[in-house]
Amino acid sequence: MKKVAFKTLGCRLNQYETDAIASQFQDNGFKLVPFDKEADVYVINSCTVTHQSDHKSRNFISQANRKNPDSVLVVTGCMANNAKTELEGRNEINYVVENDHKSSVYSLVEAHYNGEIFHPSKINSDLFSYGSTDKGFHTRSMVKIQDGCDNFCTFCIIPSVRGRAVSRPIQDILDNVKNVVKNGAKEVVLTGVNIGRYEYESYKFDDVVEQILDLEGDFRLRISSIEPDGFGNKFLGLLNHPKMTPHLHLCLQSGSDPILLKMRRMYNIKRFKEIVNKVRSVRADFNITTDIIIGFPDESDQDFESTCNIIKDLQFGHVHAFKYSIRKGTRAERMPAQVDERIKTQRSEVLREIADDVKFQYRKQFIGKEQIVLVEKTDGKNAKGYGEHYVPVVFEGCELKRNHFYKVKIKEITKDTDPVLIGEQVK
Ligand code: SF4
């Protein structure tokens, strides 16, 4: 039995695609092994959003080659698009597969073992022809509804590595959801690059969500990440549907209007606050998490202070903070007033402290309340998973099973930088 190992960097969309490719390899007789083990095939699903992600992708390529220099080494994902020439120049890499050909990685390797060496550009390219993800790495089942983006925020490399926005036929999405639910999925996560911009025939994002919520089955629906300009009142009206989870990852990026303008974001602070207040008017404890870029060109102390203040004001449940990283080919690359790396590091530390405190305050409110936890890991007596608000919970119970929902009474919270709720099963 040939062994295959995967390493995935970056976003939920990459994770979804790896889950599907990993399932296909196993359905065809491959044994899945951890990435730090020797394998016959290594697949690295890379990311290129920041310098760090490029650096990590390169390290994993060297690691795989050291583990087994005779392996079939496939590099796909956004760095395969962004640094294609560099990667194709590395002898240890057998295949550099761009995003639009990623769904055919298995057929490429299968052909390789049949002695047919194809250039990846010669194989089928379909952004959505991924099969089931049931043998993937996640308890939650991610469903891809869209790819690419037309927004061209000035800092972002994604439109040039994922292409223009494309939406998956709505019937395919509904069939995919029915299928994973029939196969036992308890939580469905909608993913893509800019899912709020979904548009297929006359259907918009709100319609996709509405039709999924109408499907039969004991499952709940989560939205992976969405742009603040990406949904309408219909979607807001669906937020209190019993199957909808009270968590949205709304990418803010900066708390300063002048910086948002330079980023070419589609909203200002006033509009962002309106959206958050509308969402919180549905449920006061709605978990809003976000992304923040620190040290975007021209960011002044005042701009940074505005970002810190909005984090306190809006009580984000979690903040992904990134130091701005110049991406070749983006408009921000040509902006003159680049911020010094030392200032970015100082600001990151300040922001991290504020965000961690706000997160702790947000999660503390669940003490004494109940959460419906989907178990990801358990030994039958102790379990770990996420509640409906996407807050991590550990709890005690009996005969606990993975991929099952349990009602849990929250007793206390840990004091870690990523505080976990501690509870016990409600019998
Ligand atoms: S909306 Fe902006 S940040 Fe998001 S993928 Fe598109 S260009 Fe990038």
SS (H, E, C) 360-417: HHHHHCCCCCEEEEEEEEECCCEEEEECCCCCEEEEECCCCCCCCEEEEEEEEECCCC
31 inside domain:
yes
Tally of CB atoms within 10 A around 12: 19
| Pocket residues: Cβ below 6 A from ligand 1 | 149, 151-153, 156, 158-159, 193-194, 227
- What six digits make up the tokens of 233? 């009142």
What residues form DSSP beta bridges with 316?
A: none
CATH number at residue 169: 3.30.750.210
Tokens 């005779």: give the residue: 70
| H or E stretch at 4 | strand 3-8
Atom of ligand 1 nearest to the CA of 152: 7
The dihedrals phi and psi of 331, each to the nearest 5 degrees, come to: -65, -35
Q: For residue 417, what are the domain limits? A: 370-425
Distance 82 CA to ligand 1 centre (A): 16
User: How far, rounded to the nearest angstrom, does the alpha carbon of residue 257 sit from its chain's CA centroid?
Assistant: 26
At residue 276, the pLDDT reads 96
How many domains are contained in the chain? Answer: 4
165 inside domain:
yes
Q: Please name the amino acid found at residue 410.
A: I
Q: Are residues 323 and 357 in the same domain?
A: yes
- Cα separation, 238 vs 206, in Å, equals 8
Q: Are residues 361 and 375 in the same domain?
A: no
At residue 133, the pLDDT reads 77
Distance 194 CA to ligand 1 centre (A): 7
At residue 232, the pLDDT reads 83
Shortest CA distance to 155 belongs to which of 336, 351, 13, 334?
Answer: 334
For residues 260 and 248, the answer to whether their CB atoms sit within 8 Å is no
The dihedrals phi and psi of 192, each to the nearest 5 degrees, come to: 175, -160
Q: pTM for the full model?
A: 0.93
- What six digits make up the tokens of 390? 């996407």
Q: Are residues 294 and 403 in the same domain?
A: no
46 inside domain:
yes
Q: Is 227 strand, coil or helix?
A: coil
For the segment 369-402, what is each residue's pLDDT rounded down to a tens digit? Answer: 999 999 999 999 999 999 999 999 999 999 999 9
Distance 150 CA to ligand 1 centre (A): 8
CATH number at residue 20: 3.40.50.12160
Which sign does the torsion angle of CA 7, 11, 16, 17 carry?
Answer: negative
293 inside domain:
yes
What residues form DSSP beta bridges with 76?
A: 45, 97
Tokens 């005042």: give the residue: 302
CATH number at residue 360: 3.30.750.200
For residues 175 and 183, the answer to whether their CB atoms sit within 8 Å is no
The angle at the Cα of 201, spanning 195 to 205, to the nearest 5 degrees, equals: 25
Distance 264 CA to ligand 1 centre (A): 10
Q: Are residues 9 and 114 in the same domain?
A: yes
Distance 208 CA to ligand 1 centre (A): 21
Q: Are residues 293 and 207 in the same domain?
A: no
Atom 8 in ligand 1: residue holding the nearest Cα? 156
352 inside domain:
yes
Q: Are residues 11 and 35 in the same domain?
A: yes
417 inside domain:
yes
Where would I find the beta strands (DSSP E) of 263-398?
A: 287-294, 318-323, 370-378, 382-386, 392-396
Q: Are residues 174 and 233 in the same domain?
A: yes
Atom of ligand 1 nearest to the CA of 264: 2
Domain boundary at 346, 365, 384, which? Answer: 365
281 inside domain:
yes
Tokens 């994604």: give the residue: 158
Domain boundary at 122, 147, 178, which? Answer: 122
Domain boundary at 365, 386, 415, which? Answer: 365
- For a ligand 1 pocket test, name from 14, 155, 193, 252 the mutation site with the most ligand atoms within 8 angstroms of its C-beta: 193
Distance 111 CA to ligand 1 centre (A): 35
- For a ligand 1 pocket test, name from 82, 99, 153, 324 the mutation site with the most ligand atoms within 8 angstroms of its C-beta: 153
Q: Are residues 15 and 83 in the same domain?
A: yes
At residue 123, the pLDDT reads 84
Distance 182 CA to ligand 1 centre (A): 33
255 inside domain:
no
Q: Are residues 358 and 385 in the same domain?
A: no
Atom 4 in ligand 1: residue holding the nearest Cα? 194
Atom of ligand 1 nearest to the CA of 149: 6
Query: Given the DSSP bridges, would you call strands 247-249 and 287-294 parallel, antiparallel or unpaired?
Result: parallel
Q: Are residues 167 and 227 in the same domain?
A: yes
Atom 1 in ligand 1: residue holding the nearest Cα? 151
Atom of ligand 1 nearest to the CA of 157: 8
At residue 314, the pLDDT reads 98
- Cα separation, 151 vs 265, in Å, equals 8
230: which DSSP letter?
S
Q: Are residues 17 and 91 in the same domain?
A: yes
Q: Are residues 314 and 376 in the same domain?
A: no
Distance 157 CA to ligand 1 centre (A): 8
- Cα separation, 304 vs 12, in Å, equals 28
At residue 367, the pLDDT reads 98
Low-confidence ranges of the chain (pLDDT < 70): none
